[in-house]
Amino acid sequence: MHGVRKTCGEPRRLAAALLVLLATLPAVVGCARPRDQVTVPPRVDPGALVLDAVAGLSPQGPYRDPTRAERARAREAVEPLLTSGSGGGEASLTDLAFREIHGVDPVTGRPFLLYVDDSEDRGWGTVLIDRSMPVRLVVQVPHPRSDIDTEVIGVDLHRSVPGSVLLVAGAHRAAADGDADVAHNDRSLFHVLATEFARKGVPAIQLHGFADRNLPDAEAVVSSAAAPVTDLTRAVADRLAAAGITACRAWAKRCGRLEGTTNEQGRAAARHAPFVHLELSWSVRSDPVRRERAVEAVAALFATGDYTRRAVRHLTAQ
């Protein structure tokens, strides 16, 4: 229907037919003037796109590390994302053949920018940025589909914190003989992006899951991995406990080897920004009500808290 014209003086039957046709078009066609080719984008749910991207992950799926040059380009792409997202002439993940999608999140009503790796052999994941304000938190999901429902919690937490970034791995942790376990692979694109955000002083919360039988006396394990314990780490544990979720504090006792001490993103963040390694039991992750309580407990720390002010103050001082 592109290029349809209405010509003055046409027979009445043609004019009537065109009136019916024009009722289905988004633009008004003037006399003797071609219709503008207007594309109306469909309603886009970025959370659904993130979950769709990981729905088919399996241990047999593809994965490869980025090259040194690709890692360098990824680092350059982080800076424009810190305030308003990528723009003309700036480095972007599209330089690495990510698909860029932007719009308004129908759940939050806030603008978003989403990068999706659609390749068949890389498994580099997705990056979702809330563009309503400068970046204040990075929510990391290194083991989607393996640590079941951490990707769902990640989407919910991202939506609960304006100005947050959601970083989701794009391969099952067991793919490529374990190289796809980005939490323990400092060559991965996930690690490059997480590290670069940390260098800018942005706090991070990395989500994991464990089986109830592995730590029957707790429903969460809170630690700073290899990074120093911070007020944020302690506050997360306190908030979870207040929400009725029993938390094992890794700085105070052993927590069933779930402390994340070998986590690469925790090591990289140690000198730059607060890092929280959060393990949630299956009983919490599988229960929508308890999942929501966990998300609300963590998100409340970034609503008006000092952690937000520190991150934004650091970024605006650059």
Per-residue model confidence as pLDDT tens digits over 275-284: 999 999 999 9
More confident residue, 13 or 61: 61
Range from 73-87, 186-200, 205-219, 231-245 carrying the lowest mean pLDDT: 73-87
Percent of the chain residues past pLDDT 90, beyond the cut: 74
Identify the pLDDT of residue 43.
78
Identify the pLDDT of residue 49.
96
Identify the pLDDT of residue 41.
54
Identify the pLDDT of residue 271.
85
Domain co-membership, 59 together with 167? yes
- CATH value at residue 177: 3.40.630
Identify the pLDDT of residue 82.
87
**DSSP β-ladder status, 247-249 and 220-223:** parallel
Identify the pLDDT of residue 308.
54
Q: Which amino acid is at 160?
A: S
More confident residue, 314 or 280: 280
Domain co-membership, 72 together with 35? no
Identify the pLDDT of residue 22.
38
More confident residue, 83 or 264: 264
Please give the torsion angle defined by the CA atoms of residues 129, 134, 136 and 142, in that order, rounded to the nearest 10 degrees.
Answer: 20
Alpha-helical runs (H) found in the chain: 12-22, 46-54, 68-78, 150-160, 189-199, 231-242, 264-269, 282-285, 288-299, 306-316
pLDDT at 195 over 60: yes
**DSSP β-ladder status, 111-116 and 99-104:** antiparallel
Rounded to an integer, what is the distance from CA 50 to the centroid of its chain?
Answer: 8
- For residue 167, the cross-strand partners are 127, 140
pLDDT band at 303; cut points 50, 70, 90? confident
Domain co-membership, 24 together with 95? no
Domain co-membership, 1 together with 78? no
Percent of the chain residues past pLDDT 70, beyond the cut: 80
Which H or E run contains 205? Answer: strand 204-210
More confident residue, 212 or 41: 212
Domain co-membership, 21 together with 51? no
CA distance 275 to 261: 12
Domain co-membership, 2 together with 66? no
Backbone angles phi, psi at 32, to 5 degrees: 55, 30
User: Tens of pLDDT along 11-51?
Assistant: 444 344 433 333 434 433 333 334 333 434 567 899 999 99
pLDDT at 183 over 70: yes
Task: Provide the domain count of the chain.
Answer: 2
What domain range includes position 13? 1-40
pLDDT at 318 over 50: no
User: Tens of pLDDT along 253-273?
Assistant: 999 999 999 999 999 998 899
Taking alpha carbons only, the member of 203, 233, 204 closest to residue 221 is: 233
CA distance 192 to 187: 7
CA distance 276 to 234: 9
pLDDT at 93 over 90: yes
Domain co-membership, 175 together with 65? yes
Domain co-membership, 234 together with 163? yes
Per-chain mean pLDDT for the chain: 85
Domain co-membership, 159 together with 210? yes
Residues 6+ apart with CB under 8 A from 41: 103
Identify the pLDDT of residue 250.
96
CA distance 273 to 129: 19
Alpha-helical runs (H) found in 135-175: 150-160
Identify the pLDDT of residue 6.
37
**DSSP β-ladder status, 137-141 and 111-116:** unpaired
pLDDT at 169 over 80: yes
pLDDT band at 162; cut points 50, 70, 90? very high
Judge whether 170 and 193 are in contact, CB under 8 Å.
Answer: no
CA distance 282 to 301: 24
pLDDT at 248 over 70: yes
Domain co-membership, 16 together with 163? no
Instruction: Identify the three-state secondary structure at position 243.
Output: coil
Structure tokens belonging to residue 91: 């480095």
pLDDT band at 310; cut points 50, 70, 90? low
Domain co-membership, 18 together with 116? no
- When pLDDT is averaged across residues 104-122 and rounded to a whole number, the result is 95
Judge whether 55 and 47 are in contact, CB under 8 Å.
Answer: no
Structure tokens belonging to residue 167: 């970083």
Domain co-membership, 73 together with 36? no
Its pTM stands at 0.83
CA distance 116 to 26: 29
